[in-house]
């Protein structure tokens, strides 16, 4: 009996293709929106986790000045770090590696090619902190660091801009007015959490940048990799204790530097993600509701149009329950059809969006199942009222209709 | 054995107060198994109302309706649906077939609600269509059939579920004289096979196929007599 009802619903639905399409359009759009939102949301979370994982776990970034959201405050007046500060942090037992970072915006030139990029003065430990392998060549040796030699390691983007496909190792590029020998090229990392190009950089020994490019002994920040099994809280506390001591900060005075955890960034991005996904999903939920009302509307019209048919069915012995079931099943089949089309469309949109935004495409079976179940629910909820109206028709009046 | 159909003081009123209409007014009648009854009377005299009550599509406002000796006037909707499904078949003036469904599908319809499997439904529906002389037209839509053929499909639909009674409200009202007589011969044949038939008509020559004539006037049963044997046998 149920099978008869389902196949009857299909027959009715197939006979009115255009109407069926218009009826389910609302549900299609609603479901497609939900699926696209959630799938893209999950893709960008996966992207955030991936880029955080690439940073290495428990990487702390130490900067002068205090910092909330937004730009550092008091960063301009707070005393800078020195190379000694980085060495002191590296000596801590909780710390694996600590690398100073002196950053300097420069144009680098090789032959006719040039590239505006960020030059980071640091130590060989920088790539260890960042868990970043070299694609070719080598990093700095300690003697090059202590001497402040004019040597460099290129990010992939800079290497491509200056050298195209040829091998930069052993070549000499010009940074500002310094001739600088290329030792190696970093492996490509792609875009970061904010979509920035992580490969657009040049690494040089910190002393080389300080003396030859900046003309001072400042260190802008220190990147610290904690040892495995050291918690971020413990690591931050140890770093703070050492730096307060070295910077002679009194017991009652606040820090004039900040320590941020890589997880902080991921939590923040994750939070933004959640808020956005929630917001867009509630918009999608509203469109699903509108879709349900669309189905109810058409089902009511259908019940009126088919009053005589209902009368005939009642006369040949259909019970009110069987008539109710017929229209309910029809509404559910309609909304499931809309749901199925919406799922396909939503996944297609999510796929396109993922490719466009260069984030992973992470379709979720659970979400698809949920959307399908939700479509069925919409059919039942919004189909019930029209179906009940059909079932309550008086057979004599229904037979006499029009 | 109690009569198949029995009315005891059946009244049916529509509306209230000043606007009250007595469509049926204290009707007593009884119909035995195997009878072929014609109901006549002027328009608005309550014929259709009586048919609807017999067919359990409607309920009397007062009085008792006994089907096989069982009071059914107070049955709920579901029980009345069961009675229609298993004991009653309807034939209407306007045929009332489902458009865009084949003759076979139309005849299958009551069997679907009896929960019969597809194969058995098709077999029974084919047999019923055969009985009304429509073999070979199973796949035709109502729109592809003449009025007489459509009414045959409707009769086959009524037959398909092996009813005890076929209720026909002006079955020939939309047909020309030739087709009308063909339909009547068909009903007569079914009656000879043992099916009780109650039929409303306006025409004497159609009523003549029945064995018994009931005449309604203003909601009252005013005549109840045998149709002249000569006429009922001749055609
Ligand atoms: N649903 C209804 N509401 C009000 N009056 C009705 C309704 N159905 C029938 N009637 C009235 O009841 C009377 C009998 O109707 P009906 O049984 O259809 O007559 P017949 O079939 O003999 O022409 C008529 O006066 C008709 O107007
Ligand atoms: Mg009538």
Do the beta carbons of residue B155 and residue B166 sit within 8 Å? yes
Ligand 1 contacts CB of residue B45 (under 6 A): yes
Average pLDDT, chain A: 87
Calpha distance B182→B187 (Å, rounded): 9
Calpha distance B46→B217 (Å, rounded): 8
Instruction: Return the half-sphere exposure (C-beta side, CA atoms, 13 A cut-off) of residue B139.
Output: 1
Answer whether A316 sits within 8 Å of B57, measured CB to CB: no
Burial state string for A326-355 with b = 16 or more CB within 10 A and e = fewer than 16: bbbbbbbbbbbbbbbbbbebbbebbbebbe
Ligand 1 contacts CB of residue B23 (under 6 A): yes
Q: Which residue has the higher pLDDT, B145 or A37?
A: B145
Q: Tell me, yes or no, if B114 comes closer than 8 A to chain A by beta carbon.
A: yes
The number of beta carbons lying within 10 Å of the beta carbon of residue A87 is 13
Calpha distance A338→A293 (Å, rounded): 13
pLDDT of residue A69 exceeding 80, the answer is no
pTM surpassing 0.80? Answer: no
Q: Tell me, yes or no, if B115 comes closer than 8 A to chain A by beta carbon.
A: yes
Calpha distance A39→A349 (Å, rounded): 9
The number of beta carbons lying within 10 Å of the beta carbon of residue B16 is 7
Do the beta carbons of residue A90 and residue A123 sit within 8 Å? no
Calpha distance A168→A11 (Å, rounded): 69
B100 to chain A: which residues are within 8 Å by CB? Answer: 15
Average the pLDDT over A72-87 and give the result: 75
Do the beta carbons of residue A383 and residue A295 sit within 8 Å? yes
DSSP H/E element including B63: strand B62-67
The minimum CA-CA distance between A381 and chain B, rounded to whole Å, is 24
Mutate to test the interface with B, among A315, A324, A388 (most CBs of B within 10 A): A315
pLDDT at A194: 67
DSSP H/E element including B196: strand B196-200
B78 to chain A: which residues are within 8 Å by CB? Answer: 319-321
Answer whether A4 sits within 8 Å of B112, measured CB to CB: yes
The minimum CA-CA distance between A195 and chain B, rounded to whole Å, is 59
- The band of A253, judged by pLDDT with boundaries at 50, 70 and 90, is confident
Mutate to test the interface with B, among A316, A329, A401 (most CBs of B within 10 A): A316
Calpha distance A391→A98 (Å, rounded): 76
The minimum CA-CA distance between B98 and chain A, rounded to whole Å, is 6
| Percent of chain A's residues with pLDDT above 70 | 94
pLDDT at A193: 62
- CA B30 to chain centroid, in Å, comes to 16
Answer whether B113 sits within 8 Å of A319, measured CB to CB: yes
Ligand lying closest to the C-alpha of residue B14: 1
Q: How far is the CA of A268 from the centre of ligand 1 (A)?
A: 75
Q: How far is the CA of B49 from the centre of ligand 1 (A)?
A: 6
Ligand 1 contacts CB of residue B11 (under 6 A): no
Q: Tell me, yes or no, if B81 comes closer than 8 A to chain A by beta carbon.
A: yes
Out of B55, B98, B110, the one facing A309 most closely (by C-beta) is B98
DSSP secondary structure of B107-146: HHHHHHHTT--HHHHHHHHHHHHHHTT-TT-TT--GGGS-
Do the beta carbons of residue A387 and residue A300 sit within 8 Å? no
pLDDT digits (tens, 9 = 90+) for A175-230: 988 999 999 999 998 877 667 888 999 999 999 999 999 888 889 999 999 888 78
Ligand 1: atom nearest CA of B24 is: 14
Q: Tell me, yes or no, if B87 comes closer than 8 A to chain A by beta carbon.
A: no
pLDDT digits (tens, 9 = 90+) for A103-160: 999 999 999 999 999 999 999 889 888 888 999 999 999 999 999 999 999 999 999 9
DSSP state of B95: -
pLDDT digits (tens, 9 = 90+) for A118-132: 999 999 889 888 888
A322 to chain B: which residues are within 8 Å by CB? Answer: 113
pLDDT at A4: 81
The interface predicted TM-score (ipTM) is 0.93
B55 to chain A: which residues are within 8 Å by CB? Answer: 315
pLDDT at A75: 47
The candidate with the shortest Cα–Cα distance to A169, out of A178, A161, A159, A158, is A159
pLDDT of residue A76 exceeding 70, the answer is no
In the 3-class helix/strand/coil scheme, how is chain A assigned residue by residue? Answer: CHHHHHHHHHHHHHHCHHHHHHHHHHHHHHHHHHHHHHHHHHHHHHHHHHHHHHHCCCEEEEEECECCCCCCECCCCCCCECHHHHHHHHCCCCEEEEEEEEEEEEEEEECCEEEEEEEEEECCHHHHHCCCCEEEECCCCHHHHHHCCCEEEECHHHHHHHHCCCCCCCCEEEECCEEEEEEEEECCCCECCCCCECCCEEEEEHHHHHHHHHCCCCECEEEEEECCCCCHHHHHHHHHHHHHHHCCCCCCCCCCEEEEEHHHHHHHHHHHHHHHHHHHHHHHHHHHHHHHHHHHHHHHHHHHHCHHHHHHHHHCCCCHHHHHHHHHHHHHHHHHHHHHHHHHHHHHHHHHHHHHHCCCCCCCHHHHHHHHHHHHHHHHHHHHHHHHHHHCCCHHHHHHCC
pLDDT of residue A56 exceeding 60, the answer is no
Ligand 1: atom nearest CA of B49 is: 17
pLDDT digits (tens, 9 = 90+) for A256-272: 888 888 777 667 777 77
Calpha distance B92→B151 (Å, rounded): 8
Parallel, antiparallel, or unpaired: how do β-strands A221-226 and A95-110 relate? antiparallel
B113 to chain A: which residues are within 8 Å by CB? Answer: 313, 316-319, 322
pLDDT at A332: 93
B114 to chain A: which residues are within 8 Å by CB? Answer: 317
pLDDT at A53: 65
Answer whether B81 sits within 8 Å of A319, measured CB to CB: yes
Out of A315, A321, A396, the one facing B84 most closely (by C-beta) is A315
Q: Which CATH number fits domain B5-231: 3.30.43.10, 3.30.300.130, 3.30.565.10, 3.40.50.300?
A: 3.40.50.300
For A246, counting Cβ atoms within 10 Å of its Cβ (0-12 exposed, 13-18 middle, 19+ buried), the class is middle
What is the C-alpha radius of gyration for chain A, rounded to an integer number of angstroms?
33
Do the beta carbons of residue A61 and residue A259 sit within 8 Å? yes
Query: Which residues, at least 6 apart from A175, have a Cβ–Cβ distance to it below 8 Å?
Result: A106, A108, A109, A119, A152, A202, A204, A213
Query: From first to last of its 235 residues, what are the pLDDT tens digits of chain B?
Result: 899 999 999 999 998 888 899 999 999 999 999 999 999 999 999 999 999 999 999 999 999 999 999 999 999 999 999 999 999 999 999 999 998 899 999 999 999 999 999 999 999 999 999 999 999 999 999 999 999 999 999 999 999 989 999 999 999 999 999 999 999 999 999 999 999 999 999 999 999 999 999 999 999 999 998 887 545 444 4
Calpha distance A213→A178 (Å, rounded): 8
Calpha distance B137→A157 (Å, rounded): 78
Helix-then-strand count for chain B, H and E? 8, 10
A310 to chain B: which residues are within 8 Å by CB? Answer: none
Calpha distance A374→A380 (Å, rounded): 10
Do the beta carbons of residue A264 and residue A48 sit within 8 Å? no
Answer whether A15 sits within 8 Å of B110, measured CB to CB: no
Ligand 1 contacts CB of residue B217 (under 6 A): no
Ligand 1 mutation pick, B11, B17, B20, B21, max ligand atoms within 8 A of CB: B21
Out of A1, A311, A395, the one facing B115 most closely (by C-beta) is A1
pLDDT at B107: 97
The minimum CA-CA distance between B69 and chain A, rounded to whole Å, is 21
Answer whether B82 sits within 8 Å of A15, measured CB to CB: no
């Amino acid at each position: 009996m149920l099978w008869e009802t389902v196949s009857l619903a299909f027959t009715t639905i197939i006979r009115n293709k255009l109407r069926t399409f218009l009826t389910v359009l609302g549900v299609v759009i609603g479901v497609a929106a939900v699926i696209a939102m959630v799938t893209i949301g999950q893709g960008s979370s996966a992207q955030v986790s991936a880029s955080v994982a690439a940073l290495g776990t428990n990487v702390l970034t130490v900067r002068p000045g205090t910092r909330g959201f937004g730009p550092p405050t008091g960063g301009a007046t707070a005393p800078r770090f020195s190379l000694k500060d980085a060495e002191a942090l590296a000596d801590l037992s909780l710390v694996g590696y600590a690398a100073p970072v002196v950053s300097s915006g420069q144009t680098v030139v090789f032959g006719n090619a040039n590239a505006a990029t960020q030059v980071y003065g640091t130590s060989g430990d920088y790539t260890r902190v960042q868990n970043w392998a070299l694609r070719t060549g080598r990093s700095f040796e300690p003697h090059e660091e202590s001497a402040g030699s004019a040597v460099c390691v290129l990010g992939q983007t800079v290497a491509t801009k200056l050298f195209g496909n040829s091998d930069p190792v052993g070549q000499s590029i010009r940074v500002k007015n310094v001739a600088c020998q290329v030792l190696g090229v970093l492996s490509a990392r792609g875009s970061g959490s904010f979509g920035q190009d992580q490969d657009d950089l040049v690494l040089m020994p910190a002393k080389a940048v300080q003396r030859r490019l900046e003309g001072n002994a400042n260190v802008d920040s220190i990147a610290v990799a904690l040892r495995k099994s050291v918690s971020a809280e413990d690591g931050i506390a140890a770093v703070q204790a050492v730096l307060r001591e070295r910077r002679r900060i009194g017991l009652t005075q606040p820090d004039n530097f900040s320590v941020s955890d890589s997880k902080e960034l991921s939590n923040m991005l994750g939070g933004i993600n959640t808020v956005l996904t929630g917001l867009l999903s509630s918009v999608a939920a509203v469109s699903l509701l509108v879709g349900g009302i669309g189905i109810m509307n058409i089902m009511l019209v259908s019940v009126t149009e088919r009053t005589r048919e209902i009368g005939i069915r009642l006369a040949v012995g259909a019970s009110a329950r069987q008539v109710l079931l017929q229209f309910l099943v029809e509404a559910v089949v309609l909304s499931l059809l809309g749901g199925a089309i919406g799922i396909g469309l939503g996944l297609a949109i999510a796929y396109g969006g993922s490719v466009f935004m260069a984030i992973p495409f992470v379709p979720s079976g659970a979400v698809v199942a949920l959307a399908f179940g939700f479509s069925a629910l919409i059919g039942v909820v919004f189909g019930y009222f029209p179906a009940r109206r059909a079932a309550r028709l008086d057979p004599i009046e229904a037979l006499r209709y029009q | 054995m109690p009569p198949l159909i029995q009315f005891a003081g059946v009244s049916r009123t529509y509306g209230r107060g000043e606007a009250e209409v007595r469509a049926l007014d204290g009707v007593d009648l009884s119909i035995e198994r195997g009878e072929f009854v014609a109901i006549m009377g002027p328009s608005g005299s309550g014929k259709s109302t009586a048919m609807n009550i017999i067919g359990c599509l409607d309920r009397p406002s007062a009085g008792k309706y006994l089907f096989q000796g069982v009071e059914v006037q107070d049955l709920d909707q579901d029980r009345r649906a069961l009675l229609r499904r298993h004991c009653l078949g309807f034939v209407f003036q306007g045929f009332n077939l489902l458009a865009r469904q084949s003759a076979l599908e139309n005849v299958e319809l009551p069997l679907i609600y009896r929960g019969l499997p597809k194969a058995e439904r098709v077999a029974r529906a084919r047999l019923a269509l055969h009985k009304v002389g429509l073999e070979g037209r199973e796949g035709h839509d109502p729109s592809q059939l003449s009025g007489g053929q459509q009414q045959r499909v409707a009769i086959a639909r009524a037959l398909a579920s092996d009813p005890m009674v076929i209720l026909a409200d002006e079955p020939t009202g939309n047909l020309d004289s030739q087709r009308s007589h063909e339909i009547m011969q068909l009903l007569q044949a079914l009656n000879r096979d043992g099916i009780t038939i109650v039929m409303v008509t306006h025409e004497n020559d159609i009523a003549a196929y029945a064995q018994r004539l009931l005449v309604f006037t203003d909601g009252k049963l005013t005549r109840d007599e045998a149709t002249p044997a000569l006429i009922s046998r001749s055609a």
